Amino acid sequence: MTVGKIWVFVEATDGGVSNTSLELLTKARDLAETVEGVSVAANDVAAAAGAHGATTVHQVDGTDGKLLGPAVAGAIAAAVEAGTGPDAVLIATSYDGRDVAGRLSVKLDAPVITNVVDVVDDGGTLAGVEPIFGGTTNVTTRFTSDKPDIFLVRPKSFAAEESGGAPAAVSGLSVPDLGATGAAVVTNRFVEEQTGPSLDDADIVVSGGRGLGESDKFEMVEQLAKALGAAPGASRAIVDAGWVPYSYQVGQTGKVVKPNVYIAAGISGATQHLVGMKGSKTIIAINKDPEAPIFSVADLGIVGDVHKVLPKLIEALQNR
């Protein structure tokens, strides 16, 4: 074991526990003698967290109707100051996870290693592996201070595996006075309607990019996705252009997907995009530019016009 104690920020979802949290707990078991969770819903996540290796989940109270970052970071920092904190904290690159990591980093005056896809033993200390340049190069970084290590880890970096552990014990972490930093209040939550599988869980993902030419052509991507029972996705270029909502975005910003099959239509394959999808098992690319970087990661590449290939492909699949 590399370190004594790792804390994982365990995020609750509507249906239970975030998959990424379970991935982090699984990884933490390889690295630390003791794995514990920190959560704003400890009772809800204790069973799953325990089954993935956490012995205790520390409850952070007082976040009802609030954003989580300040309170969770405040509670962890207070524990560190009291000498009861962890050697390292693993946090998912999620909306709330980034808030927690940023706030915690300042409270501890300690750096964060971000975009981590692996945490490894480097001669008795932890080090984070981060892909750069579109995932062609891996950089391994370790902390040089004696503060707790803060790793912000990308989703789907590890496979979640149960340890067979009993439900985690629940204990409380005290939250210090947050002053003005805790003043943001959530007044309403909106859940966007979603039909078909989500980008996170889909076996097949079909994404469209700038090569579609104009926004109403994204319909072809949706039709192809429907014909395959797939989730539709998009490159940052067309999200920024306002063709589809941010929730469709696959890439460095946006979602990391690792489906069985990924189909990229009219996507050139900017670094930003490749990082989010090159872990897919099989990649099919359709693009008219034979030099497009997307072809360097494609198992099957069709050099052709998406406006010609996609309609025929949709028709052929519908006729099967």
Partner 1 sequence: MNVVVCVKQIPDPADPGALDPETKTLVRSGKLILDESDSYGVEMALQLVDAAGGGEVTLVSMAPNDEQSGLRTALAMGAAKAVLVSDDALRGSDSLTTAKVLAKAIERTGQPDLVLTATESSDGYTGTVPEQIAELLSLPSVTFAKSIAVDGATASVQRQTEAGYDDVQVPLPAVVSVTAGVVEPRYPSFKGIMAAKSKPLDQVTVADLGLEAAQVGWAGAGQEIVDVSEAEAREAGTIVEDDGEGHQKVVDFLAELKVI
The answer to whether the beta carbons of residues 277 and 264 sit under 8 Å apart is yes
Report d(CA 100, CA 46) in Å as an integer: 20
Parallel, antiparallel or unpaired: strands 12-13 and 16-17: antiparallel
Q: Kindly state the DSSP code that residue 315 receives in the 8-state scheme.
A: H
For partner 1, give the closer residue by CB, 102 or 165: 102
For partner 1, give the closer residue by CB, 43 or 282: 282
Token pair of 70 as six digits: 């300040």
SS3 244: coil
Cβ-in-10-Å burial (0-12, 13-18, 19+) of 30 comes to middle
Could you tell me the smallest distance in angstroms from the CB atom of residue 124 to partner 1? 12
Report d(CA 290, CA 242) in Å as an integer: 27
Could you tell me the smallest distance in angstroms from the CB atom of residue 165 to partner 1? 26
Cβ-in-10-Å burial (0-12, 13-18, 19+) of 307 comes to middle
Could you tell me the smallest distance in angstroms from the CB atom of residue 164 to partner 1? 28
For partner 1, give the closer residue by CB, 171 or 246: 246
Long-range contacts of range 242-246, CB-CB < 8 Å, 24 or more positions apart?
A: 242/215, 243/212, 243/215, 243/218, 244/215, 244/218, 245/192
For partner 1, give the closer residue by CB, 32 or 150: 150
Could you tell me the smallest distance in angstroms from the CB atom of residue 5 to partner 1? 20
Could you tell me the smallest distance in angstroms from the CB atom of residue 26 to partner 1? 20
Could you tell me the smallest distance in angstroms from the CB atom of residue 127 to partner 1? 6
The answer to whether the beta carbons of residues 19 and 110 sit under 8 Å apart is no
For partner 1, give the closer residue by CB, 33 or 95: 95
For partner 1, give the closer residue by CB, 141 or 163: 141
Could you tell me the smallest distance in angstroms from the CB atom of residue 4 to partner 1? 20
For partner 1, give the closer residue by CB, 29 or 107: 107
Q: How far is CA 168 from the centre of its chain?
A: 24
